[in-house]
């Protein structure tokens, strides 16, 4: 077994950076002499650098962090004023003005960052609600495939973790899998709900849904990578898929992964245009057969390496979930996984 390595938390790293900035500025300010006009000018520039850790703290830790950093900067600044400029009233007023500037910048930067972050979270909450409504509307409209989106999202997340995806890549995969069929909103009920096989013309219309889904999602800046994966989830590894005929690794990794679980879920559930559902073994046999042709072979191999019981458990969990679970999945967009929402 490999040796586990401890990772420094983002909070600890950021605090360390701010502390180092404060110490560096303070030491430079203390140690550089002011014997000449040039050195004195440089000395004045250095004391302005106390503003840098204050602004950085505002960005990382909001108003409270900016004020705390301003307090530490003041503590580091005052001894220098009292020691080197004692009794020089004019210079003392200048130094007090510098300290006041530090606090003023802390307040302004902290308030502005708080306001921007609040607006961003409100926008993402609105986005989350809209996406939740899209998924719910599609599942309610296409009754035969109800809960399909949630199952595929749960399957994709599990397969992605099996393949080593983390962080942003795993989030993109999970959300793209949840939203992969939103383009079917633009497909008529006559085709979407047709009882029986589709004609060639009807298939051509059905094949437009990845493009329609991309057009919906790409309007949301936070979903650009998700939109790319949604557009490509019917591409084939050998280049025979649609809409662009991408081959191999030309297709985004998220699309290559959730194409496998999308097909698995489609095969193991009854569809009006195909007939009875397949059992687990039959679906896996098709995945093996189409590996390196329709499906990414690495994704298929990883899928087959996960026990059947895990897939069944994930399916049961998705089928028993409600709108809250959709909201939580799409909630990845808010950045709530990060300690400070950044």
Q: How many CB atoms lie within 10 A of CB 96?
A: 12
**Segment 213-255, tens digit of pLDDT:** 999 888 888 789 999 999 999 999 999 999 999 999 999 999 9
Please give the span between the terminal C-alpha atoms of the chain, in angstroms, as a whole number: 34
Lookup: tokens for 113: 């960052």
Query: How far apart are the C-alpha atoms of 163 and 170, rounded to whole Å?
Result: 10
Within its chain, how far is the Cα of 266 from the centroid? 27
Q: Can you give the pTM of this predicted structure?
A: 0.64
Q: Is 94 exposed, middle or buried (0-12, 13-18, 19+ CB in 10 A)?
A: middle
Q: Domain 142-334 belongs to what topology?
A: Hypothetical protein af1432 (1.10.3210)
SS (H, E, C) 206-255: HCCHHHHHHHHHCCCHHHHHHHHHHHCCCCCCCCCCCCCCCCHHHCCHHH
Do the Cβ atoms of 332 and 174 come closer than 8 Å? yes
Whether the upstream peptide bond of residue 243 has omega within 30° of 0, thus cis, is: yes
The answer to whether 299 touches 163, Cβ cutoff 8 Å, is yes
Kind plus residue range of the DSSP H or E element containing 171: helix 167-179
Spatial neighbors of 194 by CB under 8 A, at least 6 apart, are 202, 272, 273
Task: Please name the residues in contact with 133: beta carbons below 8 A apart, sequence gap of 6 or more.
Answer: none
The per-residue pLDDT for 144 is 53
Q: Could you tell me the two tokens for 260?
A: 């496998």
The 10 Å CB-count burial string (b at 16+, else e) for 140-167 is eebeebebbbbbbbbbbbbbbebbebee
| Residues ≥6 apart with Cβ < 8 Å to 86 | none
Please name which of 265, 259, 218, 217 lies closest in space to residue 240, comparing C-alpha atoms: 259
Give pLDDT, residue 91: 64
Query: Which residue is listed with tokens 């059905």?
Result: 206
Encoded tokens for 247: 């081959």
Q: Which residues contact 342 (CB under 8 A, 6 or more apart)?
A: 59, 60, 335
Structure tokens at 297: 């072979």
Radius of gyration of the chain (CA): 28
Is residue 28 a contact partner of residue 3, using CB atoms and an 8 Å limit?
no
The two tokens of residue 40 are 């004195």
Kindly give the interhelix angle for 280-290 and 308-320, rounded to the nearest 10 degrees. 110
Element (H, E) at 136: helix 89-141
**Is cis: bond before 89, omega within 30 of 0?**
no
Angle between helices 253-267 and 167-179 (to 10 degrees): 40
CA dist., res. 176 & res. 257, Å (int):
11
Where the chain has pLDDT below 50, the residues are 1-7, 323-325, 327, 330-342
Residue 85: per-residue pLDDT: 59
| Domain residue ranges in the chain | 10-118, 142-334
């Amino acid at each position: 077994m490999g040796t586990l390595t401890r990772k420094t938390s983002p909070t600890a790293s950021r605090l360390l950076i701010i502390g180092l900035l404060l110490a560096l500025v303070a030491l430079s300010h203390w140690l550089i002499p002011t014997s000449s006009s040039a050195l004195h000018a440089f000395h004045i520039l250095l004391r302005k650098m106390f503003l840098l850790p204050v602004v950085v703290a505002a960005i990382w830790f909001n108003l409270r962090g900016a004020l705390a950093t301003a307090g530490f900067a003041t503590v580091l600044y005052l001894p220098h004023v009292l020691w080197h400029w004692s009794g020089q009233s004019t210079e003392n007023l200048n130094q007090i003005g510098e300290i006041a500037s530090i606090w003023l910048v802390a307040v302004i930067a902290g308030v502005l960052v708080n306001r921007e972050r609040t607006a961003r979270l409100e926008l993402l909450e609105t986005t989350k609600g809209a996406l939740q409504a899209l998924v719910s509307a599609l599942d309610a409209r296409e009754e035969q495939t109800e809960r399909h989106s949630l199952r595929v999202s749960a399957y994709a997340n599990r397969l992605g973790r099996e393949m080593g995806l983390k962080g942003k890549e795993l989030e993109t995969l999970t959300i793209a899998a949840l939203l992969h069929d939103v383009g079917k909103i633009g497909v008529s009920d006559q085709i979407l709900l047709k009882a029986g096989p589709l004609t060639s013309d009807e298939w051509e219309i059905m094949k437009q849904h990845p493009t329609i889904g991309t057009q919906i999602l790409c309007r949301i800046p936070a979903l650009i990578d998700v939109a790319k994966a949604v557009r490509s989830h019917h591409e084939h590894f050998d280049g025979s898929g649609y809409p662009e005929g991408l081959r191999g690794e030309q297709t985004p990794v998220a699309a290559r992964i959730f194409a496998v679980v999308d097909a698995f879920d489609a095969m193991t559930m009854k569809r009006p245009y195909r007939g009875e559902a397949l059992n687990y073994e039959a679906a896996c046999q098709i995945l093996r057969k189409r590996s390196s042709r329709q499906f990414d072979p690495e994704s298929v191999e990883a899928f087959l390496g996960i026990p059947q019981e895990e897939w069944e458990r994930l399916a049961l969990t998705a089928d028993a979930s409600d709108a809250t679970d959709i909201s939580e999945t799409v909630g990845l967009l808010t950045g709530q996984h990060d300690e400070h929402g950044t």
